[in-house]
Structure 1
Amino acid sequence: MKEQKHNNHTQGQEGSRALDHLLDACRFQPVDNTRIKSLVHEKIRKEKLARKRRLRNICVASLSAAACIALVWFAGAGGFTAPSPDLSEASVSELAHAGYNEVIVPAGQRREITLPDGSHLIANAHSRVLYPEQFKGDERHIFVFGEVFLEVAKDRRHPFVVESKGFDVRVLGTTFNIRNSSDSTASVVLVEGSVEIDTENDRSVRLRPNDMAELLNGDVTSLTRIDPDDYTSWTKGLLHLTGMPLSELTRNLGDYYGIEIRCHSSLADTRVYGKLDLHKDIDTVIESIREIVPMKITRSGNVITLKP
């Protein structure tokens, strides 16, 4: 009996010690407010970076205040090509769930859109635009591939942001033209007002009216003076030609009309001047070019060939 009582006493002591140990382990430790704040700020920073990366993967460009914008696919010496944006179907689906509308403009057409804030947009052939049903938050974001002319409604408290490819353009009340393409070349032309280009390399460049900035891989490579009318005439169905190489012109027209135009190498560098009416069919437009550049034209189905 005494042995049993001793065992019970021993077990009770062990249980008491175990309970004390458990309670010690459960006691609250002093709160490190500094570390908590640090962790919270780090989480916020990572979320902001992740959001920025998602936006860049969807496309590229930022703006604010009253503006007219034209975004154009630019293939350097080869005119603009059919867009092949980095926007994945998953990203499009994500934007759709977020309340974004998608507009895709086929070859040979233009589309006019009134955005939720009253801004007016004209999208050219082979362009793709995503915009929200309602603008929310501190900024007004849309996503653009191809060529777009945009008149932005004034709202200084909510800057207008166009996301495109490789760089951001912040509008400070302006009219301008942007070109970008899948080959990482781009240009920004300022008609009036002021724009600030923010590149992926964390460089900022502010333009004056009649300035054109050219970019490669998201970085500004040159800044020149130009005539802005040459870059916005398409909104009126015209194409201004001020010495454009024939090879570049045929690529532009081929993309716009959705056909293939083959230019003989001996004609490729021929400079073309004048205006073309894009309201007319491609055969009429090509005949207009032949009045400027002597050449032979043959057509087989959806392929036009130009030879000396």
Structure 2
Amino acid sequence: MYTKEDFLLDPEFIKWVKNPNKELDLYWSNWVEVNPGAKSQFFLAREIALGIKFQEELEVTQAEKDRILTQILIKSGSIDKRTEEIKNSRYNFFSWKWLKVAAMIVFAVSLGYLMLQVQSEIKIQPQVLVEKITNVGEKRSFGLPDGTRVWLNSNSSLTYPEQFSDSVRMVELVGEAFFEVYEDKARPFKVKSRSLITTALGTSFNIKSTNSSKTVVALVTGSVSVSEEFSNIKNQVLMPFQKLDFEDGQDSFKISSFNPDSIIGWKDGKLVFEHDNLDQVIEKLESWYGVQINLNNRTAKKWKFSGEYANQSLEVVLKSMSFIEDFKFEINDKQVTITF
């Protein structure tokens, strides 16, 4: 048979009384239904824990209240059973009054201690981070815990929690990636790339933040807002097929339209050049194929090279370029020499 003391010394019961929630309410209401014989003791203990007056229908006498407090102190080891004798002695009437005051103080302290014990048992689990990395010349596709799909370009990394929080989905990108975001209006999806924060709900977009100081956010579907920690870029909204170019250390940005293949063709195996100069061509080739390119007799001619290659080998690409730009090349494993 359950008594009031059993409940008052139960940390889970005290936790429910002081900090009720849906889960605990459901548990204790079901418990009372399963144990109807303990119902009066259950609610009496709840009233004591709350520190309010007893309900009239329980018809609890002052003597009963005193007995309960004494039993609590006896169980906790604060006093022994001889204290009962004090209560029955008129001579010690005032002593008993002071004992009841002391009992209330000890009870309050004990209740606080029990609450601290309950809180200490709720351990904060450290956040587990996952990091996906691609090497030079490597690309990969994978899903995030919320259902978002990611394509990670060459020489890039994405860091994200094993489980997203209830309020936000935050990832950190180094390099370039394309995102197809799973829509969740209660939890915005945020990508941190250098000092830029891109926020989306259900959206597809590309972010490129490579070794240069430039970051490009390009939106394909939906909408995103872009903010920067140290400049006047705050909640700048992009529309589909708009891109935002930002240079580190600058207080301005540029928004323009773009050709989708030139920005996101890489995820479908398309190597795209669009009026690229020689340095841009070399950078793309090195990253795409994981090679190092050395130039001999570099030409002073300004390149504005355009072309698209779908799943082609480096040799095929260089041979095509050489007919247009007039150079010779030699491939030796990961070393490539171009001679003008």
Q: Give me the TM-score of the superposition, normalised by structure 2.
A: 0.57
**Aligned partner (choices 187, 201, 215) of residue 246 of structure 2:** 215
The residue aligned with 1:58 is: none
Q: State yes or no: 1:164 paired with 2:163.
A: no
Is 1:288 paired with 2:317? no
1:174 aligned to 2:208? no
Matching residue within 226, 241, 252 for 2:273:
241
Greater RCO, 1 or 2 (C-alpha within 8 Å, sep 6+): 1
Q: Does 1:185 align with 2:186?
A: no
Q: Which residue is 2:133 aligned to?
A: 104
The C-alpha deviation readout for 1:249-303, integer Å capped at 9, x for no partner, is 11111122221113453166322122123x3332232223223322111345532
Aligned twin of 2:302: 269
Structure 1: gaps of 5 or more residues? 1-96
Residues 1:268 and 1:112: Cα distance change in structure 2 (over 3 Å):
farther
Aligned 1:1-308 pairs, distance under 5 A:
98-200=127-229, 201-204=231-234, 205-217=236-248, 219-263=251-295, 264-266=297-299, 269-277=302-310, 279-308=311-340
State the one-letter code of the partner of 2:248: N
Deviating more after overlay: 227-236 vs 291-300: 291-300
Greater shift, 172-181 or 102-111, is seen at 172-181
- 1:140-171 Cα shifts (integer Å, max 9, x gaps): 11121112111111100010111221211112
Shift in alpha-carbon separation, 1:172–1:101, aligned structure 2, 3 A: closer
Inter-partner Cα distance in structure 2 for 1:172 and 1:112: 20
**Structure 2 Cα separation of the partners of residues 110 and 248 of structure 1:** 19
Q: CA shift at 1:179, angstroms?
A: 1.6
Following TM superposition, by how much is the alpha carbon of 1:139 offset from its aligned partner in structure 2, in angstroms?
A: 0.2
Aligned amino acid, residue 298 of structure 1: E
Question: Which structure's CA Rg is the greater one?
Answer: 2
1:174 & 1:220 partners in 2: Cα distance?
A: 25
Relative to total residues, which structure has the larger helix share, 1 or 2? 2
Cα gap change, 1:187/1:268 in structure 2, threshold over 3 Å: closer, same or farther? farther
Describe the superposition over 1:86-134 as per-residue Cα deviations: whole angstroms up to 9, x where unpaired: xxxxxxxxxxx62111111122221111111111111111111112221
Contact 2:127 2:162 in 1 (8 A): no
RMSD, matched Cα: 2.1
Question: Which SS does the other structure have where 2:265 is aligned?
Answer: helix
TM-score normalised per structure 1: 0.63
Distance in structure 2 (CA, Å) of the matches to 1:102 and 1:150? 16
Q: Deviations over 1:153-200 (max 9, x none)?
A: 110001011122121111254322222134421112222322211011
Q: CA deviation at 1:238?
A: 0.5
| 1:209, distance to aligned residue in structure 2 (A) | 2.2
Q: Tell me how far apart the structure 2 counterparts of residues 301 and 108 of structure 1 sit (CA, whole Å).
A: 13
SS in 2 for 1:283: helix
SS state of the match for residue 113, structure 1?
strand
What's the offset of the Cα at 1:211?
Answer: 1.9
Q: Are the equivalent residues in 2 in contact too, given 1:120–1:152 (CA < 8 A)?
A: yes
Instruction: Find the residue that maps to 2:160 and give its secondary structure.
Output: strand
Question: What is the identity, as a one-letter code, of the residue corresponding to 1:227?
Answer: N
Q: How many residues align?
A: 211
Q: Report the residue type matching 2:326 in the other structure.
A: P
Q: CA deviation at 1:248?
A: 0.8
Higher strand share: 1
Q: How far apart in 2 are the matches of 1:106 and 1:246?
A: 23
Kept after mapping to 2: 8 A contact 1:110/1:125 = yes
Is the Cα–Cα contact under 8 Å of residues 126 and 256 in structure 1 kept in the other structure?
no
**Is this contact kept in 2: 1:122–1:235, CA < 8 A?**
yes
Q: 1:207 to 1:268 in 2, by over 3 A?
A: farther
CA distance in 2, matches of 1:208, 1:220: 19
CA distance in 1 between counterparts of 2:241 and 2:333 reads 41
Structure 2: how far apart are the matches of 1:169 and 1:215?
A: 12
Q: Is the alpha carbon distance of 1:106 and 1:182 closer, same or farther for their aligned partners in structure 2, counting shifts above 3 Å?
A: closer
Q: Is the 8 A contact 1:213 1:220 kept in 2?
A: no
